[in-house]
Amino acid sequence: MCLPGKTPPAPSVSCMDASQRTYEEVSWNAWELVPRLELLSFYQVERRARDLSGIVTWEHHMCIKSCVGFTSPFAALECCPECGEPRYNQQELEESDGERKVPRKIFMMFPVGPQLQARWKYSQTAKSMFLSGQTSVVT
Ligand SMILES: [Zn+2]
């Protein structure tokens, strides 16, 4: 609803499932149209979403060939126990005299606890969860 004397809301573009690159390209295009436009970086948006929702992600290193994740019991290994591939980018490691350990591949986990807590925060999703629980008990 537009009130007299108020600026109407800006048109928005929905990009569900968009990549970081898509966000940055859309931001760049918007900035070209309106150079004074101040937009959040992808990192800033990601951080705000995390702060508002309470949902966090856990990143773990994994073998470049996806054999194993370097989690316990493999957390301390520097090479994959299955294929022998190095865990870290060897060029980065050599150029920094072993200081910079950049994983060659990572995977992300979204712990279920914070997701459920976030759903209970809002009446619509909480009601939906409650009703789906009742349905499963009845059937
Ligand atoms: Zn491997």
Distance 102 CA to ligand 1 centre (A): 16
For residue 17, the model assigns a pLDDT of 64
Distance 69 CA to ligand 1 centre (A): 9
For residue 8, the model assigns a pLDDT of 45
Distance 60 CA to ligand 1 centre (A): 14
pLDDT for 3 beyond 60: no
Distance 66 CA to ligand 1 centre (A): 6
For residue 40, the model assigns a pLDDT of 92
β-pair partners for 107:
60
For residue 90, the model assigns a pLDDT of 97
Distance 63 CA to ligand 1 centre (A): 5
Distance 84 CA to ligand 1 centre (A): 6
Note whether 79 and 85 are within 8 A (CB).
Answer: yes
Distance 78 CA to ligand 1 centre (A): 11
pTM: 0.56
For residue 85, the model assigns a pLDDT of 98
Q: pLDDT per residue over 38-76, tens digit each?
A: 899 988 998 898 888 877 888 999 999 999 999 999 999
Enter the tokens of residue 82.
Answer: 């299955």
Q: pLDDT per residue over 76-133, tens digit each?
A: 999 999 999 999 999 999 999 999 999 999 998 888 888 888 888 888 888 888 887 7
Note whether 39 and 27 are within 8 A (CB).
Answer: yes
For 19, phi then psi, to 5°, come to -85, 170
